[in-house]
Chain A
Amino acid sequence: GAGVSQSPRYKVAKRGQDVALRCDPISGHVSLFWYQQALGQGPEFLTYFQNEAQLDKSGLPSDRFFAERPEGSVSTLKIQRTQQEDSAVYLCASSLAGTGPRGYTNEQFFGPGTRLTVL
């Protein structure tokens, strides 16, 4: 597709349920990022992939959060045993550049997000 797509757009989960959020990046984009955006706040970094390799997961808030990108394209963010504090919009972004010289552009293109509400 022309842009980054995410599904589902809205997800309501009962506390304790597991959820899986999907991201389809722009075709050919090497880098993929997940962010969490709480209501009224800016997005906060969760994790970063370069192709299929997860190079940085320092932003994942707990071991209940897990992300994968097995074939270097589609990515899934999984949250186990959801808690109310997990309620947020989860944003996916992709970019052309991987690590490299400063000359690479590092513009990120964002998907519409998945709004997760945990009851």
Chain B
Amino acid sequence: GNSVTQMEGPVTLSEEAFLTINCTYTATGYPSLFWYVQYPGEGLQLLLKATKADDKGSNKGFEATYRKETTSFHLEKGSVQVSDSAVYFCALSASGSARQLTFGSGTQLTVLP
């Protein structure tokens, strides 16, 4: 079956530090890959996505590249802000459909001023 393995947290960084959160996946075919973010007290929000190999998703300074050869979709940001403090979830959905998402366990990020 499909699965997502996500770097365990929590992660604590100083403002303006570089962020990497690792994500690898197991899936048949060509899944779509997502990063969702959950800010304190809020619902899950889509941060970025990539639907095919070598696609780069980007939003709000965050980037992730769909690497089929390493089955990875690592999240990066060059300079984090305090407002980036949240829980980040890597997820996939089966190719060619609008079916369910399979999530990783989440990574809590805290950015200190």
Question: A-side interface residues toward B, CB under 8 Å?
Answer: 4, 30-31, 33, 35, 40-45, 48, 56, 59, 91, 93, 95-102, 104-113
Contact = CB atoms under 8 A, between A and B. Distances in A.
Interface in B9-65: 32, 36, 42-46, 49
A45 B1 CA distance: 13
A20 B101 CA distance: 23
12 contacts: A31-B98, A43-B101, A43-B103, A44-B103, A91-B43, A91-B44, A99-B99, A102-B95, A106-B32, A106-B98, A110-B44, A112-B43
The majority secondary structure among interface residues of chain A is loop
A59 B103 CA distance: 13
B43 A110 contact: yes
A111 B43 contact: yes
Contacts of B44: 43, 91, 93, 110
Contacts of A102: 95-96
A101 B49 CA distance: 18
**For the side of the interface on B, what is the size category?**
20 to 34
Interface of B: 4, 6, 32, 36, 42-46, 49, 89, 91, 93, 95-106
A98 to B, nearest CB: 6
B100 A97 contact: no
Given A42-B89, A110-B45, A113-B43, A98 B98 contact: yes
Contacts of A42: 4, 6, 89, 91, 103-106
Contacts of A56: 99-100
Nearest to B45: A110
- Which of B4, B32, B45, B96 has the most A CB atoms < 10 Å from its CB? B96
B34 to A, nearest CB: 8
A45 B100 contact: yes
B98 A41 contact: no
A41 B100 contact: no
Contact of B100 (A40, A59, A99): A59
